[in-house]
Amino acid sequence: MHVLVVEDDDAIAEPLVEGLSRQGFTVSRVATGAAALEADGAQVVLLDLGLPDLDGYEVCRRLRARSDVPILVISARGDEVDRVVGLELGADDYLVKPFGFRELVARIRAVSRRTSSVGDGARPQQIGSLEIDRRRRRVHIDDEEVALTPKEFDLLACLADEPGTVITRERLLSEVWDPHWYGPTRTLDVHVASVRKKLGDPRWVETVRGVGFRLGMVAAAPTAP
């Protein structure tokens, strides 16, 4: 995923770029609103409001007028009116400085998943016999629909973002439930067990003991002769 960081403060931007790169993101950084409007190819924009040339709200408005790219505002302006204005101008999320890095990563992934799932061109994801339609929030196994609760669907979709890759328990709780989740982690195990049961084969969601879970692949059932 290509992330564009729009931030003029080097003390904030440099560790942010370095941290996101370590998380596997491709990161570009610009320091002005004009440069942000000229940049191409970003799949998520992290937009600071306090830019030296253009007001961040204006940059947000212009970006939204020409593109559906997810915009996550990161700003020291924490008043409700600032959040409301940012969201009304087209931002998909609003994060107040100072913020936790893990929360930022969770929000980037969540906003990207949320916005890409509602695009007109979004197609169902096919993994073996499993089909996940994020736009319609529907799941099928061998053309049979599987009835999942909203949290079960979000859990499966999060695992399906990176099939075969181990997703830590912390990341799943952060992205599917809440970045500040302090409840019992048992809720994750309960939902995983339910998803496995509904998918009809425990191999779909594999446990990596002490780390987390990964989405496996189960071959489609053979067609009757």
- The residue type at 3: V
DSSP 110: H
What's the CATH number for 2-117? 3.40.50.2300
Specify the DSSP element, H or E, that contains 3: strand 2-6
- Give percent of the chain with pLDDT exceeding 90: 44
Rounded to whole angstroms, how far apart are CA atoms 102 and 119? 26
Q: Is the pLDDT confidence value at 184 over 80?
A: no
Rounded distance between C-alpha atoms, residue 179 and residue 199, angstroms:
27
> What is the C-alpha separation between 165 and 30, in angstroms, rounded?
31
pLDDT at 222: 43
Q: What is the pTM of this model?
A: 0.59
pLDDT recorded at residue 120 = 41
Q: For residue 150, name the pLDDT band (cuts at 50, 70, 90).
A: confident
Q: Which fold has domain 125-215?
A: Arc Repressor Mutant, subunit A (1.10.10)
Q: What is the mean pLDDT of the chain?
A: 86
Per-domain boundaries in the chain: 2-117, 125-215
